Amino acid sequence: MPQDVDVSLLDRSVRAQLRSLSKPNAEAVGRYLVRAGELLDDAPDKALEYAKAAAKRAGRVGVVREAVGVAAYRAGDWTLALTELRTARRITGDARNLALMADCERALGRPAQAVRMLDDPMVPKLDAETRAELLIVVAGARRDANQLDAALAVLARGGLDRARPRPGAARLWYAYADALEAAGRRDEAASWFAASAEQDPDDDLAAGERAAALL
């Protein structure tokens, strides 16, 4: 049981779900979740252990099952991740992890299943950035099936208006440019890499370098 953690670091919505537990158990589960979050980037396997420990105490709490799913995804355990994220979805009704679920289907060699995620009735209700991530994953699934034109069409659904970029535009346009390059449309690809770079002031994607390499 991790002791040197601050449970107040948990998001308010997470703490709200834990209120269904007894106070001592909620405190313990909260500590496991905080530690899992701290380890997620650098030690996902260890984060998964803490998330599983939380699930042993609170397996009916949606946010706990989501934590297991996210940690399993980061650790590369696609089957467990998909199972846990589906369970979290059934408990909470929250569709924000559809992109992760679709990516698990891709990793398991089932691109068609990933594509079907776009038919989920909750997709139109996703915020723009979350929807963009789902479109990127589904476009990747189309590319897995050698369907480049379909991949480009999927990405276009996320918005290609440079005058009105939506949240998530940097990553969406980067994926669009990458697909254009794969299709042999180098000039268009360079243009969209440049557009992506304009939406990425911290240069996390290094889109400008990709654009320059095509000129």
Domain ranges of the chain: 1-94
Around Cβ 74, how many Cβ atoms within 10 Å?
18
Average pLDDT over residues 172-182: 98
87 dihedral zone (left: phi>0; alpha: psi -120 to 50; beta): alpha
Confidence (pLDDT) at 159? 97
Q: Hey, what CATH topology would domain 1-94 get?
A: 1.25.40
b or e along 27-52 (b: 16 or more beta carbons within 10 Å of the residue's beta carbon)? ebbbbbbbbbbbbbeeebebbbbbbb
**This prediction's pTM:** 0.93
pLDDT in tens, 112-129: 999 999 999 999 999 999
- Mean pLDDT over all residues of the chain? 96
CA angle 45, 130, 49 (to 5 degrees): 15
**pLDDT (tens digit per residue) in 54-106:** 999 999 999 999 999 999 999 999 999 999 999 999 999 999 999 999 999 99
Q: What is the pLDDT of residue 8?
A: 86
